[in-house]
């Protein structure tokens, strides 16, 4: 039986975060903005904690190797995932404090980036921990 690692737990919590995100989308479509804000804020906070405690530490620990072998598939997935995910997180945090003029467009952009980051994170996990 395989022991659950911090990376397995991170993936599970990222999926929980995405479920919060999707539930938040459901509530905004129903016009229940307070529930939407609560769920999205929770998703952003949980994601920020996971970035700080797991993913960010991993990125900094292996940054030299990732830079050395940037042309290989694993490091390429890592850099794109970190860039897209970081941008999505920054935009999400920004929405907690200030809403831009064209809120719907910016939120859709952020949701798209977050979804792409999640898919890249799953690809990262499969590449490094499954294959």
Instruction: Express each pLDDT in 80-96 by its tens digit.
Output: 999 999 999 999 999 98
Number of domains in the chain: 1
For residue 104, how many C-alpha atoms fall within 13 Å in the half-sphere facing its CB?
A: 2
Residue 113 inside a domain? The answer is yes
Domain membership of residue 85 as a residue range: 6-130
Q: Among all chains, which residue has been given the structure tokens 């999707």?
A: 22
Does a structural domain hold residue 1? no
Q: Does any domain span residue 92?
A: yes
Please check whether residue 56 lies inside any domain of the structure.
Answer: yes
Q: What is the mean pLDDT of residues 64-74?
A: 82
Does residue 68 surpass a pLDDT of 80? yes
Inside any domain, residue 10: yes
């Amino acid at each position: 039986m395989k022991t659950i690692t911090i990376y397995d737990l991170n993936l599970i919590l990222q999926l929980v975060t995405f479920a919060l995100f999707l539930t938040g989308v459901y509530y905004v479509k129903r016009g229940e903005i307070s529930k939407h804000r609560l769920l999205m804020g929770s998703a952003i906070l949980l994601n920020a904690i996971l970035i700080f405690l797991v993913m960010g530490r991993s990125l900094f620990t292996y940054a030299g190797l990732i830079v050395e072998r940037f042309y290989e598939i694993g490091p390429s997935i890592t850099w794109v995932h970190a860039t897209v995910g970081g941008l999505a997180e920054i935009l999400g945090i920004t929405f907690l404090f200030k809403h831009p003029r064209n809120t719907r467009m910016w939120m859709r952009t952020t949701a798209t980036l977050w979804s792409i980051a999640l898919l890249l994170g799953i690809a990262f996990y499969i590449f490094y921990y499954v294959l």
